């Protein structure tokens, strides 16, 4: 098998030049060269650099902070421009685009993603949310065995009865095409309050809300802690979370969103050359098991999780082929001169630097690789609670391959 053509490098843009002069509290950017490409290292953004909208506060595994897409959106686009994420997850990039008056464009192979994002782009009023909860019957028959036994590990029967009523309404109306914006909002909040490690969630104490453990693991947690699922006021918790999400207001007027459920390598619903900026982060090899992590969310949403073909690649070579196919479609959607910020992380103790594989995967595509950005963030509370020191295991380091769409046509495949 012949090697892929080298990625285009061309003339470095003014944006890349400006990274070298960027200064923040850690001082001026450190510029080095690696494999013929500039590498820019600094603390380009932190969680405290600007206060993000509370609408972003929806838990999802391995999601980046809104400050990351904000850094690129503010510098590389204007109001009205289209900002795209083909691996949108909880929708951080499209939501940040909407919050700044850009057009949100998002895609993910998991239908949960659109359910999590769409309601936050046009939120209902809190009064509408409260009124709708009153309309929905308080309970419904509990699901049949064997799933009921697994659910009872997490939820009190009174909680399960309320969740069953809400779930039945959302699934029935969705199938009938009658789900409105208030129902979509309620479903989104429920998906994010199912399980967690505080009384603000519907479940007994468990793992953080972005990672639903299997029922067997939860039985061990319950036994170790001597706990049983407590009764919870589901409606009160929904209203509390809704009030928090809406506390900073909804997005300002912005162009209509374009959201779809499709693989990143074939997002045909996004037109050629229609995107001004793409900010995204793909699955990192097989590091995160999104299918297992989202099993309870899929149950509530009526999704067959086994039917969702989420990518998981055991070898860097297989992952690179997957990234190449994704980059090909991203290049198709970008306008000439449009930018791509492709975020990856360190995996396997830093022995595999995924940015090197991304650069290789861009070979033969109309994408000029302008360099690699390394954002070194200050120590965070989240990292501390997991016992991870700063800049170890990729927890607080973002590594972004910066690319720009060239004007040359894409070479034909042989």
- pLDDT tens-digit profile of 390-407? 344 434 578 899 999 997
Name the pLDDT band for 292 (thresholds 50, 70, 90): confident
Decide which of 3.30.910.10, 3.30.930.10, 3.40.50.150, 3.30.70.360 is the CATH code for 14-110+259-289+312-405. Answer: 3.40.50.150
Q: pTM of the predicted model, to two decimals?
A: 0.89
Please, what is the average pLDDT of the chain?
A: 86
Percentage of residues in the chain with pLDDT exceeding 70?
Answer: 84
Identify the residue with better confidence: 26 or 400.
Answer: 400
Alpha carbon 341 to chain centroid, angstroms: 14
Identify which of 286, 296, 292 has the alpha carbon closest to the alpha carbon of residue 306: 292
Domain boundaries, the chain: 14-110+259-289+312-405, 126-245
3-class SS of residue 119 = helix
Round to whole Å and give the CA distance between 101 and 253.
Answer: 6
Round to whole Å and give the CA distance between 194 and 231.
Answer: 13
pLDDT at 269: 98
pLDDT at 288: 61
pLDDT at 7: 47
**pLDDT tens by residue, 258-272:** 999 999 999 999 999
DSSP 355: H
Average pLDDT of the segment spanning 230-240: 98
**pLDDT tens by residue, 313-330:** 778 888 899 999 999 999
- Give how far Cα 140 sits from Cα of 175, 203, 261, Å: 18, 18, 30
Name the pLDDT band for 412 (thresholds 50, 70, 90): very low
């Amino acid at each position: 098998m012949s090697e892929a053509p080298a990625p285009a490098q061309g003339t470095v843009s003014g944006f890349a030049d400006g990274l070298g002069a960027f200064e923040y509290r850690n001082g001026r950017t450190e510029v080095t060269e690696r494999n013929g490409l500039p590498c820019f290292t600094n603390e380009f953004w932190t969680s405290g650099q600007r206060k993000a909208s509370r609408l972003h506060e929806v838990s999802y595994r391995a999601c980046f902070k809104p400050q990351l897409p904000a850094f690129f959106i503010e510098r590389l686009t204007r109001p009205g421009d289209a900002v795209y994420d083909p691996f949108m997850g909880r929708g951080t990039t499209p939501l940040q685009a909407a919050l700044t008056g850009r057009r949100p464009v998002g895609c993910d192979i998991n239908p949960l993603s659109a359910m999590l994002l769409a309601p936050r782009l046009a939120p209902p009023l809190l009064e509408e949310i409260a009124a709708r909860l009153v309309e929905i019957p308080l309970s419904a028959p509990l699901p049949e065995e064997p799933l009921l036994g697994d659910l009872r590990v997490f939820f009190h029967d009174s909680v399960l009865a309320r969740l069953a009523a809400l779930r039945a309404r959302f699934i029935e109306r969705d199938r009938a095409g009658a789900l409105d914006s208030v129902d979509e909002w309620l479903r989104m909040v429920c998906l994010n309050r199912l399980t967690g490690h505080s009384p603000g969630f519907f479940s007994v104490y468990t793992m953080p809300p972005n990672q639903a453990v299997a029922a067997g693991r939860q039985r061990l947690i319950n036994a170790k802690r001597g706990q049983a699922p407590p009764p919870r006021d589901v409606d009160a918790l929904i209203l509390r979370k809704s009030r928090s999400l809406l506390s900073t207001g909804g997005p300002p007027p912005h162009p209509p969103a374009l959201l779809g459920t499709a693989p990143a390598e074939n997002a045909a619903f996004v037109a050629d050359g229609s995107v001004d900026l793409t900010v995204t982060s793909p699955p990192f090899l097989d590091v995160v098991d999104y299918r297992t992590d989202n099993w309870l969310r899929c149950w509530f949403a009526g999704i067959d999780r086994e039917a969702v073909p989420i990518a998981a690649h055991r070898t860097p070579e297989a992952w690179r082929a997957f990234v190449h196919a994704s980059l090909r479609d991203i290049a198709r959607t970008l306008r000439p001169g449009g930018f791509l910020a492709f975020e990856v992380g360190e995996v396997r103790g830093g022995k595999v630097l995924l940015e090197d594989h991304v650069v290789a995967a861009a070979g033969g595509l109309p994408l000029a690789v302008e360099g690699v950005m390394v954002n070194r963030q200050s120590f965070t509370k989240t990292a501390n609670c997991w016992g991870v020191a700063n800049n170890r295991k990729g927890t607080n380091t973002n590594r972004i391959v910066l690319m720009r769409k060239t004007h040359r046509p894409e070479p034909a495949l042989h």
